[in-house]
């Protein structure tokens, strides 16, 4: 991979999940500092050890539950990260919530609200809190979408939130078109993750690719020359 040598700080949500973890390691192999956000402390600490073993800059991490985090908490988090690292050069929104396939009239209201909070609202809140830094550093924002689920039967609040996330990314990309800050959506496709296993119960996981290839595509874009466009 051809990447710039300048040290950057990339923020990754859902960092201990299948794609998030693979992306954190891909960015670390590129010599980039990663800041890892997830709700599970022990897996976060284990991932930090793996990142450091690659010789990357010491990672940061934060134990954040995106189901419950509010605007004030995210604002404080971003302010602390900016103070600690001088700014944020990129965000990869990998945090996701999915509770299985079911028709809309069988989705418990609390699951609907939590799915929208994790998959959409938290991504918006985190991004707008980082915008000043992203503009200054001509940073990059990567949103993970899912064309297989958006607008499709039985994918429930997950599918709806992913469709809305695509619209959010398009709107943000237009608003930032002349700022030097780039926005891009990635549809990783089938990956060997817990989310896919929850949707395709009879599928043999060995027949599905690991998240590494998708993670490399996202890492290449995040760490390439900044500026709007692909």
User: Is 4 a domain residue?
Assistant: no
In a domain, 230, yes or no: no
Which CATH number does the domain housing residue 211 bear?
3.40.50.720
The long-range contacts involving 187-196, CB below 8 angstroms and separated by at least 24 positions, are: 187/144, 187/145, 187/146, 187/147, 188/19, 188/144, 188/214, 188/218, 189/214, 191/18, 191/19, 192/18, 193/17, 193/18, 193/19, 194/17, 194/18, 195/17, 195/18, 195/96, 195/98
Number of domains in the chain: 1
Residue 188 lies in a domain: yes
pTM, entire model: 0.93
Structure tokens at 116: 């929208």
In a domain, 228, yes or no: no
Residue 187 forms part of a structural domain: yes
Residue-by-residue pLDDT tens, the chain, 230 positions: 334 445 789 999 999 999 999 999 999 999 999 999 999 999 999 999 999 999 999 999 999 999 999 999 999 999 999 999 999 999 999 999 999 999 999 999 999 999 999 999 999 999 999 999 999 999 999 999 999 999 899 999 999 999 999 999 999 999 999 999 999 999 999 999 999 999 999 999 999 999 999 999 999 999 986 444 44
Residue 2 in domain: no
Domain assignment of residue 54, yes or no: yes
**Joined tokens for residue 68:** 């419950």
Question: What range does the domain containing 113 cover?
Answer: 9-222
């Amino acid at each position: 991979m051809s990447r710039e040598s300048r040290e950057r700080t990339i923020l990754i949500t859902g960092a201990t999940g299948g794609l998030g973890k693979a992306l954190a390691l891909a960015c670390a192999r590129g010599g980039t500092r990663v800041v890892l956000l997830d709700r599970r402390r022990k897996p976060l600490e284990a991932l930090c050890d793996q990142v450091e073993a690659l010789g990357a800059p010491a990672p940061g991490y934060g134990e954040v539950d995106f189901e419950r985090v509010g605007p004030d908490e995210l604002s404080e988090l971003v302010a602390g990260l900016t103070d600690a690292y001088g700014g944020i050069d990129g965000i990869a929104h990998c945090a996701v919530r999915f509770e299985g396939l079911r028709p809309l009239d069988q989705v418990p209201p609390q699951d609907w609200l939590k799915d929208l909070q994790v998959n959409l609202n938290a991504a918006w809140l985190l991004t707008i809190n980082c915008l000043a830094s992203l503009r200054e550093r001509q940073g990059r924002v990567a949103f993970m979408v899912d064309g297989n689920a958006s607008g499709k039967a039985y994918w429930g609040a997950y599918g709806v939130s992913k469709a809305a996330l695509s619209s959010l990314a398009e709107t943000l990309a237009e608003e930032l078109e002349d700022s030097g800050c780039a926005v891009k959506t990635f549809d990783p496709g089938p990956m060997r993750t817990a989310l896919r296993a929850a949707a395709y119960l009879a599928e043999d996981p060995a027949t599905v690719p690991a998240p590494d290839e998708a993670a490399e595509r996202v890492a290449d874009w995040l760490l390439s020359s900044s500026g709007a466009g692909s």
